[in-house]
Amino acid sequence: MTIKPWKILKSRYLIRDKWLTLRADMCETDDGTIIDPFYVFEKSDWAHVVGFDDEGRVLIVRQYRHGSQTVCAEVPCGVIDKDDVSPLEAAKRELLEETGCVAERMECLGVFYANPARQTNRVHSFIAFGVKKVAEQNLDKTENIEFEFVDLQTLMSLIDTGEFAQSLHISSVLLALRKNGLLDKI
């Protein structure tokens, strides 16, 4: 392959806080072109859980998302904290916190970049089987999350109408449906 990474000549941090780190890099391309500034968001990795109950229904959550100023349907998800032993443990933690549910079995569907052009973080996508409610939700003060199990037709309708509109979550759903042999059923 002849494509080479850019050289970072200089970096400076513009914002550093709990939720966002913004870096401005001065870069040089392989042909000597200088790009200054090139902004990069440093973010923690995320975990997604596409959970199926014993009836084949998918667990979704609904919550307000201020960036779009809408209530969105999504899969349970969250930031992988520094305290999490692994992405799998983070996925299990988020599932339990957001919904009070646990899974009999979870498998990794893949690890993907959220936006490799501008962000450093990856999405660890998991499929969960035998999901059932065992506890009450354990939400942060800023969270107000509702959840339910929906059949595949309802899930596809939510995607079609734009209520389930987060593209990374749709990608995780697609991978889970493929893994579960369900793509031809929708």
Q: What single string gives the DSSP state of each residue in 77-122?
A: EEE--TT-SSHHHHHHHHHHHHHSEE-SEEEEEEEEES-TTTB--E
Count up the domains in the chain and report the number.
2
The verdict on 62 and 113 lying in the same domain is: yes
The verdict on 114 and 55 lying in the same domain is: yes
The verdict on 53 and 33 lying in the same domain is: no
Name residue 51's beta-bridge partners. 128
Q: Give the CATH number of the domain where residue 95 resides.
A: 3.90.79.10
CA atoms within 13 A on the CB side of 35: 14
Q: How far apart are CA 153 and CA 150, in angstroms?
A: 8
Give, for all 186 residues of the chain, the pLDDT tens digit. Answer: 799 999 999 999 999 998 889 999 999 999 999 999 999 999 999 999 999 999 999 999 999 999 999 999 999 999 999 999 999 999 999 999 999 999 999 999 999 999 999 999 999 999 999 999 999 999 999 999 999 999 999 999 999 999 999 999 999 999 999 999 888 877
100 close to 93: Cβ distance less than 8 angstroms: no
**36 located within any domain:** yes
Domain boundaries, position 32: 7-42
Name residue 126's beta-bridge partners. 49, 108
Q: How far apart are CA 136 and CA 154, in angstroms?
A: 25
The verdict on 20 and 107 lying in the same domain is: no
pLDDT at site 119: 96
The verdict on 106 and 158 lying in the same domain is: yes
Helix (H) or strand (E) holding 158: helix 152-161
User: How far apart, in Å, are the Cα atoms of 129 and each of 53, 103, 106, 117?
Assistant: 6, 6, 6, 33
N- to C-terminal Cα separation, the chain:
39
